Structure 1
Amino acid sequence: MVERFFPVEQNSPAEPTLALLSGPPCCGKTSLLFQFAINCASETSSGDVIFMCNKRRLESKPPFLSQEISGIDLSSDVFQRIQMKYVEDDDGIKKYFAAFHLHESFPLAVIIDDFADFFGERTCQNRYGNARGRDLAMVRTLALCQDAITYTKGACKLLLADTHQGDNPRLLFIYKRWIQSFFTIQSDGSGSFIMRSSANSSTRSERTRSAKYSVALQSLVLEQMVDE
């Protein structure tokens, strides 16, 4: 499954409907998400991919393209079908998914960068009058997202991204209730990163893969795929 984030041959027919990509700061998560969007759009001749993010943050840290696609014309059909949607807070996410059933045709995938950062601690506490207001807001939004994606009957996938400081997503106890699959990134201590996947269930595929990559010289570089 990790190959979905790199410009390599795709050989994973079954994909999770809801997934989370989590990694430490400055590990290239936005670049990986953008490559995922390119892969989704490249597989069909029609259908959009929605890339939801904070505009100011994206402009300050734009994604790096993989070396294999850095020369592709940005006006090409693939890039044109990656639709940027800028939101400021969780209200923007909720409004989008509340009207999701009104789409004439559903997007191939919805990608939300830095999902947890849209939920301000103090704002959520004031909204719900509860010290755990942020947790409540995230749970309600994730439930809405799940309902919207389920409504498409597999036509659309949802990929979220979050940042962690330790070994796991900082809000793993919340994500586990709603997310089917996790992609976790860790530093290898030498300037590269290792991405691994795990399913949120008792069943595991016969073969899993990990990916070693780096983000250098304004490029996302896949160094090695390893069967585990």
Structure 2
Amino acid sequence: MFFPRASTAPPPFDDARILLLSGPPCCGKTSLLFQFAINRAAESGRDVVFISSRGRLESNPPFLSQDVKPSMDVLHRIQIKYVEDDEGIRKYFAAFHLLDNFPAAVIVDDFAGFFLERICQQRYGNTRARDLAMVRTLALCQNAIAHANTKLGTLGSCNLLLSDVHQGDNPRSLFIYKRWISSIYTIQGDGLGSYILKNISSSQSGIKE
């Protein structure tokens, strides 16, 4: 689901409605997210929403695979939405049920990066403020995606894909993510142009260029 695939190959999308891709800085997460967006838009024939900070995306644009050309129609179905904080994410999903047409997927690049410790503490006034803000936002996201899939029924599905940055072996907020997300993937580069992708919510793992 994160890598280029032949047009004749069956869509290898995860059954999970909400997914997480986590890895160290500058390991290729944004590029994999964008490839997921291309695959999802191509497979579904519907739009995909890509949420990011403007500064982050402009300073670290995704690398496209050789098969993806700027003139491809599928790129027009990827809608870039810029938000600058967690409040922007909540506002988007709070109004999600008002959409006339639900996207095939919503992708949030560097989800945890929108939750600044200082701002969360000012808002909630306790030592676990950042965790509380993330939990409330994830609950809202889950509700919105569930609503979309109920409305879509047999007409299609709507996925939510989040990315996170971690310095160790696992995401800092893994204990929170596991409550809301059933498919969690970690990624690292091998230094030779390949990705090592592991599903830590199961025993699956894989290596892909």
Same fold, TM-score > 0.5, yes or no: yes
How far apart in 2 are the matches of 1:189 and 1:66? 18
Compared with structure 1, are the counterparts of its residues 102 and 198 closer, same or farther at alpha carbon in structure 2 (3 Å cutoff)? same
Instruction: Name the CA distance, whole Å, in 1 between partners of 2:14 and 2:25.
Output: 29
2:170 pairs with 168, 171, 177, which one? 168
Greater shift in the superposed pair: 36-45 or 78-87: 36-45
Question: What CA RMSD, in Å, does the superposition of the two structures yield over aligned residues?
Answer: 1.8
The Cα offsets for residues 176-213 of structure 1, whole Å up to 9 and x where unpaired, read as 110010111134365643111243xxxx58xx45123x
Query: 1:179 matched to which residue of 2?
Result: 181
Give the unaligned 5+ runs of structure 2: 151-156
1:34 touches 1:63 (CA, 8 Å); kept in 2?
A: yes
For 2:192 and 2:13, the matched residues in 1 are separated by 33
> C-alpha separation between the residues in 2 aligned to 1:21 and 1:141?
17
- Provide structure 1 residue ranges, at least 5 long, that are not aligned to the other structure: 213-221, 223-228
Match of 1:66 in 2: 65
Q: Give the TM-score, by structure 1 length.
A: 0.82
Q: Match for 2:17: what amino acid?
A: T
Give the corresponding residue for 2:129.
Answer: 133
Is the 1:88–1:118 contact (alpha carbons within 8 Å) kept by the matching residues of 2?
Answer: yes
Give 1:44-59 correspondences, 5 Å limit: 44-45=44-45, 47-59=46-58
The equivalent of 1:92 in structure 2 is: 88
Cα distance in 2, alignment partners of residues 141 and 178 from structure 1: 11
**Aligned-pair identity (%):** 63
- The equivalent residue for 2:190 is 188
Q: Give CA-to-partner distance per residue, 1:80-115, whole Å, 9 cap, x none.
A: 110000000000000000000001110000000000
Counterpart for residue 105 of structure 1? 101
SS in 2 for 1:166: coil
Question: What is the aligned length?
Answer: 200
Counterpart AA for 1:166: G
Letter in 1 for 2:60: K
Are the aligned partners of 1:167 and 1:186 in contact in 2 as well (CA < 8 Å)?
no
Cα deviation code 1:150-183 (max 9, x no counterpart) = 1112621000000111111111011011001011
What's the TM-score, normalizing by structure 2? 0.89
More helix as a share of residues: 2
Per the TM alignment, residue 77 of structure 1 is displaced from its structure 2 partner at its CA by 2.3
Task: Give the secondary-structure state (helix, strand or coil) at the position aligned to 2:149.
Answer: coil
Aligned partner of 2:114 among 114, 118, 121: 118
